[in-house]
Each structure stands twice: as C-alpha cells, then as structure tokens.
Amino acid sequence: MQKSLHLDAYKCTGCLQCEMACSYEKEGAFNPAKSRIKVFTFHDLGRFSPYTCTQCSDAWCLHACPVEAITTNVTTGAKEVNETLCVGCKVCTISCPFGTINYNTDTHKVDKCDLCGGDPACAKACPTEAIVYIDAEQTGYNKMRKYAQFNLTQGE
C-alpha cells in the first residue's frame, strides 16, 4: 500500500510544529527556514496552509536533473535527492511547478521532502491532524481528478 501526506488547510492553526519537527529531523536544529514543509499564511483571511512536495508520479524534478541525483524510493514513493550525486545546479528547483524544492546554502545542494523514510516527522508533530500520513488512495487525488474533469466538460 502506497502512502502519502494528506494536508488539510482547514485544520491548520499555523502553529509551525510541522516546520520545527522537520527541521529538527533533517537538520538537527529547530529552524523553520531549513524545513522541507512550509506553512503559508493568508494574512488577510487569518488562514494557514501547509505545503510540501507532492511526490508527483511523473516528477518534473526527477526528469530535469542532469546528473540523475533524484530517484524514486520504491518503498515510500518519495522522490529523494542523493546528496552525493547532486551538484547544486538548481535545475530541479526551476522545474518544480509547486516550488517545493529548495537550495540549501549550507550544503550547496537541494533539499526536498523525502517522507522521512516512511515516518514523516511533520505528521507526527501536527497537533490538529492537518497533516496525516495515510493510504494514497484516501488523499483525494481521484476526487481532485474527477472535479477537474467535471469542470473541463462544463467549459470552465
């Protein structure tokens, strides 16, 4: 069973526990700037929305990498950056339509969510379950696809 992160903006309070947990897990420091998950703030609405790599099935970042430093973990489905192979050219950051791959100025390599090897720290830390790690079939992908198809047939 493939699992993925399900992000529910309606449950997000903007506490940033996900960012703190991620940065500590990956960098050994509580530094949200180093987190692979971010919380976007809609100031005018008083709303928050967590976002991170969606682990695209046909990942543009993976195909764009000129040195093949991004591969798919067959167990988790995560698109992972091999730091040894990465040359820090940033082509993957440009190719990602969601902006979820970041250049790390300390390592001169790129960072992105790798689902913490199948045990995402962000999901464990989220107190409101705005981030949960569940069966990929339950994340709403098929629902979004049906909605998009419906809108296309309605001429929107």
pLDDT of the residue at 147: 54
Q: Which two tokens stand for residue 28?
A: 């050994």
pLDDT of the residue at 135: 83
Number of domains the chain contains: 2
User: Is the pTM here over 0.85, yes or no?
Assistant: no
d(CA 19, CA 37): 6
d(CA 36, CA 47): 20
- Which is nearest to 80 in space by CA: 51, 99, 55? 55
What secondary structure letter does DSSP report for 56? -
62 and 102 together in one domain = yes
Where the chain has pLDDT below 70, the residues are 1, 138-156
47 and 3 together in one domain = yes
Domain that holds residue 28: 1-52+121-156
* CATH code of 66's domain: 3.30.70.20
pLDDT of the residue at 105: 93
Amino acid identity, position 85: L
73 and 91 together in one domain = yes
pLDDT of the residue at 86: 98
35 and 71 together in one domain = no
- Tens digits of residue pLDDT in 102-146: 999 999 999 999 999 999 999 999 999 999 999 877 665 555 556
